[in-house]
Structure 1
Amino acid sequence: MDFLRNLGDIGLFIHAMIDAIIFPIPALFSQLSLSALSPDRAIWLATIGFAGCLIGTPIGYGIGKVSGSLVLNKIMKKKWYDSATALFTKHGEAAILVGAFTPIPFKIFTILSGCMNYPLWKLLSYAAIGRAVKFYTVGVLFYVYGRAAENMVDSVLTIILVSVGILIGGVWFTVRMIKNRKKKRSETSVVQPPKDSIDVTAGEE
């Protein structure tokens, strides 16, 4: 961590990139340290972290494709791995969105996506949304409030992230329900032909 902090912007970029691959400590800590030193550059630092994360995401995905189960079993307890797998299988999009901006190590979701052959473009799309919320929330707080934001980050960030998480979860659940209803209606219409067509056929006979 000290080595990465001493590298400044480059260190934050590297930290954010390897955070999405294998590094155990979230890039948030590097972002906080550098933003506290230079609040006027907080938005730029958020952009650097965001870019690093997006570049690291496909690499974590590739690791998952090659040897995901082996890697995850090394860095996670078996019960966590089983729970994460079940959650991802049932709610893939929601799992990525939640994992992207919560304290849950993001590498778990990048590796798990590759392991389960989840589409890479979807992973990048949802990761971009979630990670943008996390990095830029911290950046804006420091840019607006300066070093005083250091005492606000924990409480404000938690409230914002939970609120955004509930909002995204609600939207995702609504969209999912609408899709399921449309799917059921289409299946029903295929199985049962319209009554009018049956009557017409009967009349012609």
Structure 2
Amino acid sequence: MKIFTKMYDACLRWARHQYAVYILGFISFIESIFFPIPTAVMLAPMALAKPNRALWLAFIAATTSVLGGVVAYIIGAFAFESWVLPWIIELGYESTYNRALDWFAEYGVWVVLVAGFSPVPYKMFTLTAGALGMAFVPFLIASIIARSAQFFLIGGLVKWGGEQMEHKLRQYVEWIGWGVLILGVLAYIIYTVSN
């Protein structure tokens, strides 16, 4: 049974939907605040479905993600204790939040640059930056750089690879899917054992 191939084909169908761009923007926006599924999960198949629009889709994802990050910063600044912290505790993200605090203490607001590629969700950095009262302009600049780098990397690779990449990816999607799943489980086990 080809689980990942079926999921991949479904994502490509959804990516061709007439409202897919709006859905991408919405998911990218809410992912910066609270949504658990990364934007890249939708961006990659959308870009593969329309490689000629890959960079435009990356721009949409980056822009809406940064706007969501600004909203999360404001929420963190004004409602962290009353709304965000109970949510972090209830969902079991305390260790992730503490790691974000440690990184902020060590690197300052520029840790947001790393957030674009780290396993710690971007939303944790946006909310925490607001809660800690980090300088807004450096936060905004770091967010623009981090989110643009991640999404334009995906869009650029798809545009460069074009249809050939889509066919190759579909050919190896089962191997890739199971490999990522196994790596994720191993990373979780290593992280749990080390803490």
TM-score (norm 1): 0.67
* Counterpart position of 1:60: 72
1:21–1:107: 8 Å Cα contact kept in structure 2? Answer: yes
Question: How does 1:124-203 map onto structure 2 within 5 Å?
Answer: 124-149=140-165, 151=169
Letter in 1 for 2:138: K
Spell out, residue by residue over 1:98-155, the C-alpha distance to the aligned partner (whole angstroms, 9 max, x if none).
1123343110000010111112211110011111111111111111111443539x8x
8 Å CA contact retained: 1:72, 1:108: no
Task: Give 1:124's aligned amino acid.
Answer: L
- Given that 1:20 and 1:60 are in contact with CA atoms closer than 8 Å, whether structure 2 keeps it comes out as yes
Select which of 88, 97, 117 maps to 1:81.
97
Mean CA deviation greater in 58-67 or 143-152: 143-152
Question: In 2, distance between residues paired with 1:149 and 1:74?
Answer: 41
Higher relative contact order (CA 8 A, sep 6+): 2
Tell me: CA distance 1:102–1:149, structure 2 relative to 1, closer, same or farther (3 Å): farther
| Alpha-carbon spacing, 1:123–1:94, altered in 2? closer, same or farther (3 Å) | closer
Larger Cα Rg: Structure 1 or Structure 2? 1
Matched letter for residue 56 of structure 2? W
Q: Return structure 1 stretches of 4+ with deviation > 4 angstroms.
A: none
| Aligned-CA RMSD value | 2.5
Q: Does 1:98 align with 2:114?
A: yes
Residue 76 of structure 1: how far off its partner (Å): 4.2
- Which consecutive unaligned segments of at least 5 residues does structure 1 have? 155-205
2:42 matched to 1:30?
A: yes
How many residues are treated as equivalent by the alignment? Answer: 153
Report if the CA contact (8 A) 1:72-1:111 is conserved.
Answer: no
Q: Distance in 2 between matches of 1:115 and 1:147?
A: 44
Per the alignment, in what secondary structure is the counterpart of residue 87 of structure 1? helix
Sequence identity, in percent? Answer: 26
